[in-house]
Structures are given as C-alpha cells and as structure tokens.
Amino acid sequence: MSEQKQVKGWTFLGNGDFTLGQPETTNYLYFPLANEAGMMSAITPRLHGDSKTGQHHFLLPPVSAEDLHNTKSGRNFWLNFEGYGPWSIT
C-alpha cells in the first residue's frame, strides 16, 4: 500500500509514481531521459528538449529549464494511419 503525498499540484503515489492534474497548465513539466550508453535528454510534453552526452557535449542546442518551453525548435512525431494518411501528433 502506498502513501499519497500532495506537493504543489503533484500527488506522489509512492514507488516513483505521481500524478499532476491538468499537466498542460504547468510551465515546468519535463522528463529527464538517459540510457546506459551515456545519452542524456530532457523532453517536454510538446516534444521540446535537448540531447547531450555530457555537461559540455551537446547533440542539440543546450537549453535551460525555462528554454525547454520557450524554444521554437521541437521534435515532430508523425503517425500514418491506413485509410487516413499521415498525422502529426505535435
């Protein structure tokens, strides 16, 4: 059984799980991503972010937590549905 804890809109459910009501209304929502090969990234729900292999080695232009949401460059993710055609989810 997990204990729920509420902090500034976030509800922490335990075991690394959390919820955030109306996440589209927050300006600082992003997720850090990493893998065993040393790649590190941060990505927002609108697919903005950066990618790097270290503090001074960037694959994309470096961004701050504020820039993650203000940048004009973002990723575009397309799906192709049979009978409908391509659709951008971003």
| Residue 74, domain member (yes or no) | yes
| Residue 20, domain member (yes or no) | no
| Residue 14, domain member (yes or no) | no
The predicted model scores a pTM of: 0.50
| Residue 73, domain member (yes or no) | yes
* 49-70 core/surface letters (b: 16 or more CB in 10 A; e: else): bbbbeeeeeeeeeebeeeebbe
pLDDT-derived band at 5 (thresholds 50, 70, 90) equals low
**Range(s) of the domain holding residue 33:** 27-88
| Residue 22, domain member (yes or no) | no
| Residue 12, domain member (yes or no) | no
pLDDT-derived band at 4 (thresholds 50, 70, 90) equals low
Count the domains in the chain: 1
Token couple for 34: 């990493």
| Residue 54, domain member (yes or no) | yes
